[in-house]
Structure 1
Protein backbone atom coordinates (compact mmCIF):
# COMPACT_ATOMS: atom_id res chain seq x y z
CA UNK A 1 0.00 0.00 0.00
CA UNK A 2 2.86 2.31 0.75
CA UNK A 3 4.27 1.76 -2.77
CA UNK A 4 0.88 2.35 -4.37
CA UNK A 5 0.37 5.56 -2.42
CA UNK A 6 3.76 6.88 -3.45
CA UNK A 7 3.12 5.95 -7.08
CA UNK A 8 -0.25 7.68 -7.00
CA UNK A 9 1.26 10.78 -5.46
CA UNK A 10 3.99 10.80 -8.12
CA UNK A 11 1.41 10.60 -10.91
CA UNK A 12 -0.59 13.42 -9.37
CA UNK A 13 2.48 15.67 -9.06
CA UNK A 14 3.65 14.91 -12.60
CA UNK A 15 0.18 15.57 -13.98
CA UNK A 16 0.01 18.90 -12.20
CA UNK A 17 3.46 19.83 -13.49
CA UNK A 18 2.56 18.93 -17.06
CA UNK A 19 -0.68 20.88 -16.83
CA UNK A 20 1.11 23.91 -15.41
CA UNK A 21 3.78 23.80 -18.13
CA UNK A 22 1.16 23.55 -20.88
CA UNK A 23 -0.77 26.54 -19.56
CA UNK A 24 2.38 28.64 -19.29
CA UNK A 25 3.31 27.94 -22.92
CA UNK A 26 -0.14 28.88 -24.20
CA UNK A 27 -0.43 32.03 -22.12
CA UNK A 28 3.12 33.28 -22.72
CA UNK A 29 4.33 32.19 -26.17
CA UNK A 30 8.06 32.59 -26.74
CA UNK A 31 9.37 34.20 -29.94
CA UNK A 32 5.92 34.31 -31.53
CA UNK A 33 6.01 36.24 -34.80
CA UNK A 34 3.55 39.07 -35.33
CA UNK A 35 2.31 40.32 -38.69
CA UNK A 36 1.08 43.73 -39.75
CA UNK A 37 -0.09 45.44 -42.94
CA UNK A 38 1.01 48.99 -43.73
CA UNK A 39 -1.94 50.73 -45.41
CA UNK A 40 -0.86 54.41 -45.50
CA UNK A 41 -4.27 55.42 -44.15
CA UNK A 42 -2.85 57.43 -41.21
CA UNK A 43 -1.44 60.37 -43.17
CA UNK A 44 -3.38 63.62 -43.63
CA UNK A 45 -3.32 64.72 -47.28
CA UNK A 46 -3.59 68.17 -48.85
CA UNK A 47 -6.56 69.51 -50.80
CA UNK A 48 -5.19 67.94 -54.00
CA UNK A 49 -5.11 64.49 -52.45
CA UNK A 50 -1.44 63.86 -51.73
CA UNK A 51 1.38 64.28 -49.20
CA UNK A 52 5.07 64.38 -50.14
CA UNK A 53 6.46 66.04 -47.01
CA UNK A 54 6.23 69.53 -45.60
CA UNK A 55 8.31 72.50 -44.47
CA UNK A 56 9.77 71.94 -40.99
CA UNK A 57 12.59 73.13 -38.74
CA UNK A 58 15.14 70.66 -40.21
CA UNK A 59 15.69 72.37 -43.57
CA UNK A 60 18.93 71.61 -45.45
CA UNK A 61 20.56 73.84 -48.07
CA UNK A 62 21.13 71.50 -51.02
CA UNK A 63 22.49 74.09 -53.46
CA UNK A 64 19.18 73.82 -55.33
CA UNK A 65 17.12 75.42 -52.58
CA UNK A 66 16.11 74.26 -49.13
CA UNK A 67 14.93 70.67 -48.68
CA UNK A 68 13.18 69.26 -45.64
CA UNK A 69 13.66 65.66 -44.47
CA UNK A 70 10.30 64.13 -43.52
CA UNK A 71 9.18 60.69 -42.38
CA UNK A 72 5.94 58.73 -42.45
CA UNK A 73 5.78 56.06 -39.71
CA UNK A 74 3.43 53.09 -39.47
CA UNK A 75 3.76 49.83 -37.51
CA UNK A 76 7.40 50.54 -36.66
CA UNK A 77 8.41 51.12 -40.30
CA UNK A 78 9.70 54.52 -41.48
CA UNK A 79 9.35 55.94 -44.99
CA UNK A 80 11.90 58.69 -45.61
CA UNK A 81 11.10 61.61 -47.91
CA UNK A 82 12.91 64.80 -48.91
CA UNK A 83 10.54 67.68 -49.59
CA UNK A 84 11.33 70.86 -51.47
CA UNK A 85 8.91 73.49 -52.69
CA UNK A 86 9.97 72.78 -56.27
CA UNK A 87 10.58 69.00 -55.98
CA UNK A 88 10.34 65.93 -53.77
CA UNK A 89 11.98 62.51 -53.58
CA UNK A 90 11.22 59.43 -51.53
CA UNK A 91 7.78 58.13 -50.58
CA UNK A 92 4.65 60.18 -51.14
CA UNK A 93 1.12 59.20 -50.12
CA UNK A 94 -1.90 59.78 -52.34
CA UNK A 95 -5.63 59.09 -52.56
CA UNK A 96 -6.07 60.56 -56.04
CA UNK A 97 -8.56 58.75 -58.27
CA UNK A 98 -7.54 60.19 -61.65
CA UNK A 99 -6.04 57.62 -64.02
CA UNK A 100 -4.68 59.99 -66.67
CA UNK A 101 -1.64 62.24 -66.70
CA UNK A 102 -1.21 65.87 -67.69
CA UNK A 103 2.24 67.45 -67.71
CA UNK A 104 2.83 70.42 -65.42
CA UNK A 105 5.84 72.32 -64.12
CA UNK A 106 7.29 69.25 -62.29
CA UNK A 107 6.67 70.78 -58.84
CA UNK A 108 4.37 68.94 -56.41
CA UNK A 109 1.75 71.69 -56.49
CA UNK A 110 2.08 72.31 -60.23
CA UNK A 111 1.90 68.67 -61.37
CA UNK A 112 -0.45 66.72 -59.08
CA UNK A 113 -0.97 64.02 -61.72
CA UNK A 114 2.45 62.59 -60.79
CA UNK A 115 0.59 61.20 -57.74
CA UNK A 116 -1.89 59.21 -59.87
CA UNK A 117 -1.75 55.48 -60.50
CA UNK A 118 -3.08 53.73 -63.58
CA UNK A 119 -5.92 51.93 -61.74
CA UNK A 120 -7.44 55.11 -60.30
CA UNK A 121 -7.74 53.62 -56.81
CA UNK A 122 -5.76 52.27 -53.88
CA UNK A 123 -5.39 48.51 -53.56
CA UNK A 124 -7.17 48.66 -50.20
CA UNK A 125 -8.67 51.58 -48.32
CA UNK A 126 -8.20 55.07 -49.74
CA UNK A 127 -4.46 55.78 -49.70
CA UNK A 128 -1.46 54.34 -51.51
CA UNK A 129 2.26 55.16 -51.69
CA UNK A 130 4.01 56.77 -54.68
CA UNK A 131 7.71 55.90 -54.84
CA UNK A 132 10.23 58.16 -56.57
CA UNK A 133 13.59 57.74 -54.83
CA UNK A 134 17.14 58.95 -55.14
CA UNK A 135 18.57 56.91 -52.30
CA UNK A 136 15.85 57.39 -49.68
CA UNK A 137 15.08 54.18 -47.78
CA UNK A 138 12.25 52.40 -46.06
CA UNK A 139 13.60 51.54 -42.61
CA UNK A 140 12.19 48.22 -41.36
CA UNK A 141 14.12 48.05 -38.06
CA UNK A 142 14.54 44.26 -38.08
CA UNK A 143 11.19 43.30 -39.62
CA UNK A 144 10.78 40.78 -42.43
CA UNK A 145 9.19 42.02 -45.65
CA UNK A 146 6.62 39.40 -46.69
CA UNK A 147 5.29 41.19 -49.76
CA UNK A 148 3.30 44.14 -51.10
CA UNK A 149 0.98 45.21 -53.92
CA UNK A 150 2.21 47.38 -56.78
CA UNK A 151 1.06 49.04 -59.99
CA UNK A 152 2.25 51.62 -62.50
CA UNK A 153 2.22 55.36 -62.08
CA UNK A 154 0.06 57.20 -64.61
CA UNK A 155 3.11 59.23 -65.64
CA UNK A 156 5.03 56.04 -66.42
CA UNK A 157 2.18 54.72 -68.57
CA UNK A 158 1.98 58.04 -70.41
CA UNK A 159 5.71 57.76 -71.21
CA UNK A 160 5.29 54.14 -72.34
CA UNK A 161 2.44 55.03 -74.70
CA UNK A 162 3.44 58.50 -75.88
CA UNK A 163 7.17 58.89 -75.24
CA UNK A 164 8.98 60.58 -72.37
CA UNK A 165 10.05 63.74 -74.25
CA UNK A 166 13.76 62.90 -73.96
CA UNK A 167 14.40 59.51 -75.55
CA UNK A 168 12.74 59.29 -78.97
CA UNK A 169 9.55 57.29 -79.47
CA UNK A 170 7.17 55.32 -77.31
CA UNK A 171 7.83 51.81 -76.02
CA UNK A 172 8.23 49.07 -78.61
CA UNK A 173 8.20 45.27 -78.17
CA UNK A 174 11.83 45.14 -77.03
CA UNK A 175 11.67 48.02 -74.54
CA UNK A 176 11.46 47.44 -70.80
CA UNK A 177 11.05 49.29 -67.51
CA UNK A 178 11.65 47.68 -64.14
CA UNK A 179 11.85 48.52 -60.45
CA UNK A 180 14.76 46.98 -58.53
CA UNK A 181 14.56 46.32 -54.78
CA UNK A 182 17.75 46.32 -52.72
CA UNK A 183 17.38 44.83 -49.22
CA UNK A 184 19.90 45.66 -46.48
CA UNK A 185 19.84 43.11 -43.63
CA UNK A 186 20.42 43.95 -39.96
CA UNK A 187 23.29 41.46 -40.05
CA UNK A 188 25.01 39.69 -42.92
CA UNK A 189 25.98 40.56 -46.44
CA UNK A 190 24.03 43.03 -48.55
CA UNK A 191 24.05 43.15 -52.32
CA UNK A 192 20.91 41.15 -53.14
CA UNK A 193 18.44 42.52 -55.66
CA UNK A 194 14.90 41.67 -56.72
CA UNK A 195 13.43 42.83 -60.05
CA UNK A 196 9.81 43.84 -60.66
CA UNK A 197 8.86 44.19 -64.33
CA UNK A 198 6.61 47.20 -64.95
CA UNK A 199 6.81 47.08 -68.76
CA UNK A 200 8.10 44.20 -70.89
CA UNK A 201 7.50 42.44 -74.21
CA UNK A 202 5.19 45.13 -75.57
CA UNK A 203 2.92 45.22 -72.51
CA UNK A 204 2.86 46.97 -69.13
CA UNK A 205 1.29 46.56 -65.68
CA UNK A 206 -2.29 47.90 -65.69
CA UNK A 207 -3.67 46.57 -62.37
CA UNK A 208 -2.56 45.95 -58.81
CA UNK A 209 -0.23 42.93 -58.68
CA UNK A 210 1.26 41.15 -55.68
CA UNK A 211 5.01 40.93 -55.09
CA UNK A 212 5.44 37.80 -52.96
CA UNK A 213 8.73 37.91 -51.02
CA UNK A 214 7.77 35.37 -48.35
CA UNK A 215 10.15 32.74 -49.73
CA UNK A 216 13.08 35.08 -50.38
CA UNK A 217 15.67 34.88 -47.58
CA UNK A 218 17.22 38.25 -48.51
CA UNK A 219 14.08 40.03 -47.24
CA UNK A 220 14.18 38.59 -43.72
CA UNK A 221 15.32 40.62 -40.69
CA UNK A 222 15.89 43.84 -42.64
CA UNK A 223 17.51 47.07 -41.62
CA UNK A 224 16.11 48.84 -44.68
CA UNK A 225 15.12 48.53 -48.32
CA UNK A 226 15.81 50.89 -51.22
CA UNK A 227 14.34 51.22 -54.72
CA UNK A 228 16.04 51.79 -58.05
CA UNK A 229 14.82 51.74 -61.64
CA UNK A 230 16.14 50.46 -64.97
CA UNK A 231 14.82 51.20 -68.45
CA UNK A 232 15.73 50.61 -72.07
CA UNK A 233 14.92 54.31 -72.55
CA UNK A 234 17.94 56.04 -71.00
CA UNK A 235 20.85 58.41 -71.44
CA UNK A 236 24.15 59.01 -69.63
CA UNK A 237 22.28 60.17 -66.52
CA UNK A 238 20.06 57.10 -66.27
CA UNK A 239 16.47 56.20 -67.26
CA UNK A 240 14.48 58.83 -69.12
CA UNK A 241 11.28 56.94 -68.27
CA UNK A 242 9.81 58.57 -65.11
CA UNK A 243 11.22 56.57 -62.19
CA UNK A 244 7.97 55.91 -60.31
CA UNK A 245 6.12 52.91 -58.88
CA UNK A 246 2.96 52.85 -56.74
CA UNK A 247 2.73 50.42 -53.82
CA UNK A 248 0.16 49.54 -51.16
CA UNK A 249 -0.68 47.10 -48.34
CA UNK A 250 2.87 46.18 -47.35
CA UNK A 251 2.96 42.97 -45.29
CA UNK A 252 5.64 42.68 -42.60
CA UNK A 253 6.53 40.19 -39.88
CA UNK A 254 8.41 41.10 -36.72
Structure 2
Protein backbone atom coordinates (compact mmCIF):
# COMPACT_ATOMS: atom_id res chain seq x y z
CA UNK A 1 0.00 0.00 0.00
CA UNK A 2 2.85 2.39 0.82
CA UNK A 3 4.46 1.68 -2.54
CA UNK A 4 1.19 2.36 -4.38
CA UNK A 5 0.67 5.59 -2.44
CA UNK A 6 4.21 6.67 -3.24
CA UNK A 7 3.72 5.98 -6.96
CA UNK A 8 0.53 8.06 -7.04
CA UNK A 9 2.25 10.95 -5.28
CA UNK A 10 5.14 10.84 -7.78
CA UNK A 11 2.67 10.73 -10.66
CA UNK A 12 0.82 13.78 -9.33
CA UNK A 13 4.11 15.62 -8.87
CA UNK A 14 5.17 14.76 -12.42
CA UNK A 15 8.21 12.80 -11.26
CA UNK A 16 7.12 9.67 -13.14
CA UNK A 17 5.05 8.94 -16.23
CA UNK A 18 1.91 6.83 -16.53
CA UNK A 19 4.01 4.19 -18.29
CA UNK A 20 6.39 4.12 -15.35
CA UNK A 21 3.50 3.57 -12.94
CA UNK A 22 2.01 0.80 -15.06
CA UNK A 23 5.38 -0.94 -15.19
CA UNK A 24 5.63 -0.85 -11.39
CA UNK A 25 2.04 -2.01 -10.88
CA UNK A 26 2.69 -4.99 -13.12
CA UNK A 27 5.14 -6.31 -10.53
CA UNK A 28 3.11 -5.30 -7.47
CA UNK A 29 1.44 -8.70 -6.76
CA UNK A 30 4.65 -10.65 -7.37
CA UNK A 31 7.79 -10.35 -9.44
CA UNK A 32 8.85 -13.28 -11.61
CA UNK A 33 12.61 -13.87 -11.68
CA UNK A 34 12.17 -17.28 -13.33
CA UNK A 35 14.03 -19.06 -10.49
CA UNK A 36 11.94 -17.20 -7.88
CA UNK A 37 8.65 -15.35 -7.60
CA UNK A 38 8.91 -12.55 -5.07
CA UNK A 39 5.71 -12.06 -3.09
CA UNK A 40 5.39 -8.27 -2.90
CA UNK A 41 1.94 -8.48 -1.27
CA UNK A 42 3.02 -10.44 1.79
CA UNK A 43 3.58 -7.39 3.96
CA UNK A 44 0.00 -6.31 3.19
CA UNK A 45 -1.45 -9.74 4.01
CA UNK A 46 0.76 -10.73 6.94
CA UNK A 47 2.24 -7.51 8.29
CA UNK A 48 5.77 -8.80 7.58
CA UNK A 49 7.51 -8.82 4.16
CA UNK A 50 8.63 -12.08 2.57
CA UNK A 51 11.80 -13.47 4.16
CA UNK A 52 14.53 -15.17 2.12
CA UNK A 53 15.41 -18.71 3.18
CA UNK A 54 19.01 -18.85 1.96
CA UNK A 55 19.90 -22.48 2.63
CA UNK A 56 19.77 -24.45 -0.62
CA UNK A 57 19.92 -21.32 -2.78
CA UNK A 58 23.04 -20.22 -4.60
CA UNK A 59 24.72 -17.00 -3.54
CA UNK A 60 23.80 -15.48 -6.90
CA UNK A 61 20.13 -16.34 -6.38
CA UNK A 62 20.08 -14.81 -2.89
CA UNK A 63 21.74 -11.63 -4.15
CA UNK A 64 19.32 -11.26 -7.06
CA UNK A 65 16.28 -11.85 -4.84
CA UNK A 66 17.64 -9.30 -2.37
CA UNK A 67 18.29 -6.79 -5.15
CA UNK A 68 14.70 -6.96 -6.37
CA UNK A 69 13.20 -6.96 -2.87
CA UNK A 70 15.12 -3.81 -2.01
CA UNK A 71 13.32 -2.00 -4.84
CA UNK A 72 10.01 -2.46 -3.00
CA UNK A 73 11.23 -0.27 -0.15
CA UNK A 74 10.55 -3.00 2.40
CA UNK A 75 13.01 -4.33 4.93
CA UNK A 76 14.85 -7.41 3.67
CA UNK A 77 15.80 -10.36 5.83
CA UNK A 78 17.57 -13.61 4.98
CA UNK A 79 17.70 -16.67 7.23
CA UNK A 80 20.21 -19.55 7.25
CA UNK A 81 22.72 -17.32 5.49
CA UNK A 82 26.46 -17.94 5.70
CA UNK A 83 29.16 -15.26 5.78
CA UNK A 84 30.00 -15.69 2.10
CA UNK A 85 26.41 -14.95 1.13
CA UNK A 86 26.29 -11.96 3.46
CA UNK A 87 29.47 -10.44 1.99
CA UNK A 88 27.98 -10.71 -1.50
CA UNK A 89 24.75 -9.07 -0.30
CA UNK A 90 26.82 -6.26 1.20
CA UNK A 91 28.08 -5.36 -2.27
CA UNK A 92 24.55 -4.27 -3.24
CA UNK A 93 23.40 -3.28 0.26
CA UNK A 94 26.28 -1.71 2.24
CA UNK A 95 23.94 -1.12 5.22
CA UNK A 96 23.20 -4.82 5.58
CA UNK A 97 23.91 -6.33 9.00
CA UNK A 98 24.86 -9.90 9.81
CA UNK A 99 23.90 -11.69 13.01
CA UNK A 100 26.39 -14.54 13.01
CA UNK A 101 25.04 -16.89 15.71
CA UNK A 102 21.59 -16.60 14.17
CA UNK A 103 22.86 -16.87 10.57
CA UNK A 104 20.61 -13.96 9.58
CA UNK A 105 21.28 -10.89 7.45
CA UNK A 106 19.00 -7.89 7.43
CA UNK A 107 18.65 -4.62 5.52
CA UNK A 108 16.44 -2.05 7.22
CA UNK A 109 14.87 0.49 4.88
CA UNK A 110 11.90 1.52 7.00
CA UNK A 111 11.00 1.64 10.67
CA UNK A 112 9.04 -1.32 12.00
CA UNK A 113 6.06 -0.96 14.30
CA UNK A 114 7.32 -1.56 17.83
CA UNK A 115 5.56 -3.87 20.28
CA UNK A 116 5.72 -3.30 24.02
CA UNK A 117 5.13 -6.89 25.11
CA UNK A 118 8.30 -8.85 25.81
CA UNK A 119 9.17 -12.14 24.11
CA UNK A 120 11.39 -14.31 26.31
CA UNK A 121 13.69 -16.79 24.58
CA UNK A 122 14.76 -19.59 26.90
CA UNK A 123 17.17 -22.44 26.15
CA UNK A 124 17.86 -25.70 27.92
CA UNK A 125 21.57 -25.63 27.07
CA UNK A 126 24.34 -23.62 25.47
CA UNK A 127 24.28 -25.89 22.40
CA UNK A 128 20.73 -24.68 21.69
CA UNK A 129 21.81 -21.04 21.38
CA UNK A 130 22.17 -20.90 17.55
CA UNK A 131 18.50 -21.87 17.13
CA UNK A 132 17.52 -19.57 19.99
CA UNK A 133 19.38 -16.67 18.39
CA UNK A 134 17.53 -17.25 15.13
CA UNK A 135 14.33 -16.84 17.14
CA UNK A 136 15.55 -13.88 19.18
CA UNK A 137 16.99 -11.90 16.27
CA UNK A 138 13.92 -12.56 14.13
CA UNK A 139 11.64 -11.35 16.91
CA UNK A 140 13.74 -8.21 17.36
CA UNK A 141 13.78 -7.44 13.64
CA UNK A 142 9.98 -7.75 13.66
CA UNK A 143 9.82 -5.05 16.35
CA UNK A 144 9.64 -7.00 19.62
CA UNK A 145 11.69 -6.47 22.78
CA UNK A 146 13.43 -9.75 23.65
CA UNK A 147 14.76 -11.16 26.91
CA UNK A 148 17.29 -13.99 26.57
CA UNK A 149 17.67 -16.67 29.24
CA UNK A 150 20.13 -19.35 28.18
CA UNK A 151 21.34 -22.63 29.69
CA UNK A 152 18.60 -23.14 32.29
CA UNK A 153 17.66 -26.74 31.49
CA UNK A 154 16.06 -29.30 33.78
CA UNK A 155 19.40 -30.92 34.68
CA UNK A 156 19.84 -27.93 36.99
CA UNK A 157 16.27 -26.75 37.52
CA UNK A 158 17.35 -24.17 40.14
CA UNK A 159 18.86 -22.11 37.31
CA UNK A 160 15.38 -21.74 35.84
CA UNK A 161 13.58 -21.15 39.12
CA UNK A 162 15.99 -18.41 40.12
CA UNK A 163 15.11 -16.53 36.90
CA UNK A 164 11.32 -16.81 36.99
CA UNK A 165 10.98 -13.01 37.18
CA UNK A 166 12.39 -12.74 33.65
CA UNK A 167 10.06 -15.42 32.33
CA UNK A 168 6.95 -14.10 34.07
CA UNK A 169 7.57 -10.60 32.70
CA UNK A 170 7.10 -11.85 29.13
CA UNK A 171 3.92 -11.88 27.09
CA UNK A 172 5.11 -14.87 25.04
CA UNK A 173 7.82 -17.42 25.84
CA UNK A 174 9.88 -19.34 23.28
CA UNK A 175 11.47 -22.45 24.79
CA UNK A 176 14.34 -24.01 22.82
CA UNK A 177 15.53 -27.48 23.87
CA UNK A 178 17.11 -30.63 22.49
CA UNK A 179 17.88 -33.94 24.21
CA UNK A 180 14.52 -35.03 25.70
CA UNK A 181 12.93 -31.57 25.32
CA UNK A 182 11.55 -31.50 28.87
CA UNK A 183 12.06 -27.78 29.46
CA UNK A 184 8.98 -26.80 27.46
CA UNK A 185 6.68 -28.79 29.75
CA UNK A 186 8.35 -27.40 32.88
CA UNK A 187 8.02 -23.79 31.72
CA UNK A 188 4.48 -24.42 30.46
CA UNK A 189 3.47 -25.64 33.89
CA UNK A 190 4.84 -22.54 35.65
CA UNK A 191 3.39 -19.64 33.64
CA UNK A 192 0.07 -18.28 32.43
CA UNK A 193 1.52 -17.15 29.09
CA UNK A 194 1.58 -18.91 25.70
CA UNK A 195 4.68 -21.06 25.22
CA UNK A 196 6.12 -21.76 21.77
CA UNK A 197 8.38 -24.81 21.95
CA UNK A 198 11.27 -25.38 19.55
CA UNK A 199 12.84 -28.85 19.51
CA UNK A 200 16.48 -28.83 18.42
CA UNK A 201 18.60 -31.51 16.82
CA UNK A 202 21.02 -31.39 19.76
CA UNK A 203 21.47 -34.72 21.52
CA UNK A 204 22.99 -38.17 21.42
CA UNK A 205 21.96 -40.99 19.07
CA UNK A 206 18.54 -41.81 20.51
CA UNK A 207 17.65 -38.15 20.15
CA UNK A 208 17.23 -38.99 16.43
CA UNK A 209 18.35 -35.51 15.34
CA UNK A 210 15.59 -33.81 17.30
CA UNK A 211 12.77 -36.27 16.83
CA UNK A 212 12.69 -37.29 20.50
CA UNK A 213 12.48 -33.63 21.60
CA UNK A 214 9.76 -32.96 19.01
CA UNK A 215 7.63 -35.88 20.19
CA UNK A 216 8.14 -34.97 23.86
CA UNK A 217 7.00 -31.41 23.23
CA UNK A 218 4.00 -32.54 21.18
CA UNK A 219 3.03 -34.83 24.08
CA UNK A 220 3.52 -32.15 26.72
CA UNK A 221 1.17 -32.47 29.68
CA UNK A 222 1.32 -28.70 30.23
CA UNK A 223 -1.52 -26.77 28.62
CA UNK A 224 -0.76 -23.79 26.41
CA UNK A 225 2.34 -25.23 24.75
CA UNK A 226 2.49 -25.10 20.95
CA UNK A 227 5.31 -26.67 18.94
CA UNK A 228 7.13 -25.75 15.73
CA UNK A 229 9.43 -27.89 13.62
CA UNK A 230 12.91 -29.06 14.61
CA UNK A 231 15.47 -26.20 14.72
CA UNK A 232 12.83 -23.76 13.46
CA UNK A 233 13.72 -20.67 15.48
CA UNK A 234 12.37 -18.41 12.73
CA UNK A 235 8.96 -20.08 12.79
CA UNK A 236 8.74 -19.80 16.56
CA UNK A 237 9.56 -16.09 16.44
CA UNK A 238 6.93 -15.51 13.75
CA UNK A 239 4.23 -17.15 15.89
CA UNK A 240 5.38 -15.29 19.00
CA UNK A 241 5.33 -11.99 17.09
CA UNK A 242 1.76 -12.58 15.92
CA UNK A 243 0.64 -13.37 19.46
CA UNK A 244 2.42 -10.28 20.74
CA UNK A 245 0.73 -8.10 18.12
CA UNK A 246 -2.67 -9.38 19.21
CA UNK A 247 -1.75 -8.44 22.76
CA UNK A 248 -0.92 -4.91 21.62
CA UNK A 249 -4.30 -4.58 19.93
CA UNK A 250 -6.06 -5.81 23.04
CA UNK A 251 -4.51 -3.24 25.35
TM over 0.5: no
TM-score (norm 1): 0.25
